Amino acid sequence: MDTSQAFLGLIEARPGYGYELKQRYDDYFGAERALKFGQVYAMLARLERDELIVMDGVEEGGGPTRKRYRGLPAGRERVMQWLTQPDEEATGRSNLFAKVVVSLLLDEDAVRLLALHRSMLLDTMRGLTRAKQGADLLDVLAYDQSLFRVEADLRWIDTTEARLNDLKESLR
């Protein structure tokens, strides 16, 4: 996931203070890895420097000064470009693809490599299925996407395993 684009999208949707924006990000996207505060403020500084957002107000209080940020038209345009661009991961060659090719080039056991990855993916699938139980709708949708990707990878492994001999011959 492109953290900075998703974060910019949250600012465009609803302006807020750095702490609020971090909380919103973590609520929507941080189930597996929440943002660190240093990362949030570095992103805010970059987005402001690039004139995609602007500091819209300051609130003094008992603690540190709170800065409120809102999006600018260029930020909205950037988010819209991001929303309409296909993700590279859906169209590119994966790391597993490269591992299979290299294992064949090195005359290593690609069947064992695929079996290892199949086993890991099945473990991942079981964990995701358990995590879905009782989860809220936002998390269920995220788990479903992950499950569908795992299923696709498992189908790819089966297809590749059936074609290994032909692939090995084509690489010679």
Query: Tens digits of per-residue pLDDT, 18-31?
Result: 999 999 999 888 87
Q: How far apart, in Å, are the Cα atoms of 151 and each of 11, 126, 138? A: 34, 12, 20
The token pair at 135 is 């989860």
Q: What are the residues facing 70 on neighbouring strands?
A: 54
Strand partners, 59: 66
Taken as a whole, the chain contains a residue count of 172
- The answer to whether the CB of 37 falls within 8 A of the CB of 23 is no
Mean pLDDT throughout 40-67?
A: 90
Q: Are 113 and 5 in contact (CB under 8 A)?
A: no
Q: Is the pLDDT of residue 148 over 80?
A: yes
CA-angle at 30, arms to 157 and 5, nearest 5°: 85
pTM (2 decimals)?
A: 0.71
Can you give the pLDDT at residue 65? 81
More confident residue, 99 or 62: 99
